[in-house]
Structure 1
C-alpha cells in the first residue's frame, strides 16, 4: 500500500537515505541532484547540463541511456523477470558467460556477482578453496597492497589498504599482509603512462614470502591501476614481476579489474593492456554499463576443473548470491558488450588516449598542482593539501567544477577523471578548460 505523504514522510525528505561515501550533512544542506542523463551529460534538478567526467562512478563506459541496452532490458523483463541459479538455470546466464570468456584468452569460466565488492570476496574465496582443492590447505594467507581499494566487504577491506575504509571496523580477516603502494612523487611526478621507477617494489613480495613462508600464502590481489585511491599507475615491469614471484611460490595472482575492465585502458582488460595474465580477475561496473548491477569473476583455465572431483550430486563450491546471473543483468550485459563491439569503443579509447594525455598534462603548473598522471582514458591531478585539512582543497574543486557544469571525482586531494568512452575531443577540451579554470580559484 502506498504511504501517504505527511509531516513525517515527505516525497522530497532527504533525511531517511543514509548516503554512501558522502558527507551527508553537507549534501543535505546543499543537495546536488541529477534527474536525467543522456550521452556524456547529466541533467540537474534545476535543468543544467553537467558533463560526466567520471563515467558515473567509473561504470558508464558507453555513456548514458543507450537505447540498445534499454531495449534489451525492457524485452527481458516482459519475458522472464527472475529465475534462480541455485540448482536451476536460465539461458541468458550461460550465453553471457560464454560471450565473456570469448573476450579474453585463457579464462574458461566466470562466476557472476552483483558488484565489485562481491566480485572481490568471491575471488578471495575461490582462491582459498582452490588451494585446498589441490591439496594446499595450509595456504590461507591473503596479500593485498597499501592504498588498494577492493570494495567494502570484509574481505575487500581486509586486503584493501585505504585507512579510512578500515579503521572503524575492527580486526577484519586474520592473516592478511600488504605490499607497499607504488606512488613515488619524488621520482615519478608528471609521468605519462607507466612510471620508470618502482619495479623494485614488486620484490617486497619476496620479503613477505620469507616472513610468512610460501606454504601459508594463498593469493595476492592488486588493482592493475589503483583507481579509487587516485589513479596510481604500475611502474614498468611491476605486474610482470609480481606474476613471476607468484609462479615461483605457487601463489595465485588476482587482478581487481572492476575499474580497468571493459575498455577503460583502450583494451578489453588490463590483462590485455599490460600483457600479464592473473589467475583470477574481478569485474563489475562496465560489464553492464551500470544499467543493472552486476559483476563477474573470470577464472583461468584449470581453476574450475580442480573443484570438479567432488562426489556426484555434491555442490562443489558453497558460495553464491540470490541474484547471481540475474536475467535482467545478463540482458543488459549482452547488449553492452555488443555495443562496445559495434561502436569499436575499446579501439576508440586507445585512439583518444594521446589527446586525453596531452590535455591533462597541459594543466602542469596550475595552482597547487603537484602531479599529473594518466593511462588509457584515466587521469589524475594531484593537489598539495592544506595543512590540517586533508581533502578540503580537492572537495572545493569538486564543488566549483559542478557549478561550472562538470562532474569530477575526488579522493583525498586528488582529482580523478574517467569520462565515457564515447567522449569527443570537444568534450575533452571542456574538461581540461573547466578544471584549469577551477584550479585558478581553489583555496
Structure 2
C-alpha cells in the first residue's frame, strides 16, 4: 500500500456501468436475505470486537461501513420481496373475483335446474311424461333424458361445492399473503431504523477520528514503511525464485546436452575421456545460466506448469483466506476513509475478521517464505508455479519454508492490533506482476 498526499481534492474514478440483470425469483430473494442476515451477524461480531477498546478506530469505521452496505442490501431485498407479494396479492384478488363470478353463474344455473325439476318432482308426473311417448324408442329417449337430467343436476351441485372450497382456499391464501406483506413492512421499518442508527454511529466515529488526524497521519507513515518493507521482501523472493528456476533449467539443459554428446561419442567409438568437461564447456554453461537468470518470469517444469495452469483455471473461484470476514480495504487506489486529500494504494486486499481466526491457503502449492516484517507481523508466501499468494498481518505461522500445502489448509492465525482490529492482507502475484485478488476469490 503506497500513500500519497495530494494538493487538491482527489477526482473520483469512473463509476462502473451497471448491467441490467434478469429479475430474481422470490425464492432467490428469500435465500439472499438469509445470507445477508448471516453477513450482518458476522459483521456485528467483528464490530463488537473493535468496540471493546472503547476508542474510535479505522477498523471500527470499516466494520460500521460494511454493516451499512449489508443493511442497505437487506432493505433493498425486502423491497423486492414486497413487490413480488404485492403482485401475488393482485393476481389472487383477480382469481378470487373470477371464482366468485363462476360460483354465482353455477348457482344460477343450478337454480334453473331445480325449478325445472320441481315441475316433475313427483313420480306421477314423471310416469305421465314417459307413457305419453308415441313410440317405444321415444320412451327410451325420455327415460334417458330423465336420468341425464338427474346426473347433470348432481354434477352441478358437486361443481358448486368444489368451487366454494376453491374460493375458500384462495381467500385463505390471500389473507396469508397480506399477513406476510404486513410482516415484511414491519421488518423493513425496523431495518430502516437500524440503518439510521448505523449512520449516526458512523458520523460519530468519523468525528472522533477526525480529531485524531495527527495520530492517523503518523500511523499512515508507519504503515507505509511497513508495506515498503513487505514489497521489497516480496520482490526479492520473486527475483530469487525466478533466478533459481532459471539456473535449474540451465543445468537441466546442460546435462541433457552432455548426455546427448556422450551417446553420440559412444556410437562413434570415441573414448569417453574426449567428452569430459573442459574449461570452455564450463564457461559456456555458466554463460547460458547467466543468460537464463536475466528472464523476468519463473521457468516452469512440466509439474509446476500444470500447477500454474490449474491455479489460473480457478480464477474467480478460489476460497477466501479466512472463513469469516469482509474486505475492509480494496485493491488499488482509493481515498482514505477519514483524512482528506489522502489517497492510499493497496497491493492486495485487507480482510477484517474475528480475533484468532485461522488463515488458510487458497490453493495447493509450496511455502516459499515465512518471515517477520515489522509493522506487518508474520508473512507467508506460497508458490503455485509462476503464481504467488501472500498472507500478511499474521500473529503466527503453522507451516515452514519448503512445505507443501493444500487448498484451505490452515497456515497461521490472524493478528489483532492494539485497537482491537483483526485483519489479514492477501495478495496475488504472477511472476513480478501484482494482480487484483478480488478477481481471483470466489463469492462468500
TM-score (norm 1): 0.21
Task: Pick the structure with more helix per residue.
Answer: 2
TM-score (norm 2): 0.21
